Amino acid sequence: MASENEEKVELGFNAVPDTKPKKDWVLLSLRVVAFLATSAATLVMAFNKQTKNFIVATTGNTPITATISAKFNQTPAFV
C-alpha cells in the first residue's frame, strides 16, 4: 500500500493520444481538394463549347454547311 505522503510517479504520456494536428491537416487538404474539383467543374462548364457542322446541301462540288453551337443553358442536367 502506498502511504499518503508518497508522491505519485507521473508518466510522460497521456492515456488518449492527441490527434488534433493530424486531423486539421486532413480536413484542410480535403477542403482544398473539394474546392479544386468544384472550380475545375465550373471551368469545364463555362468554357465548354460544342459545335457541330452539318452539310445541308451540295451545289456542284461545293458543300453548303450549317454550324450549330450548343449553349450553356441547354445542358440536360439543368432542364
Chain centre distance of CA 56: 42
In the predicted model, what is the mean pLDDT of residues 47-53? 81
Going by pLDDT thresholds of 50, 70 and 90, the confidence category of residue 44 is confident
pLDDT band at 2 (very low <50, low <70, confident <90, very high): low
What does pTM read for this prediction?
0.44
Cβ(74)–Cβ(50) below 8 Å: no
* 6-37 residue pLDDT tens: 666 555 555 555 556 678 889 999 999 999 99
Distance CA(51)–CA(71), nearest Å, equals 9
Q: Give the pLDDT confidence score for residue 5 in this predicted structure.
A: 60
pLDDT at res. 55: 87
Question: Are 17 and 33 within 8 A, CB to CB?
Answer: no
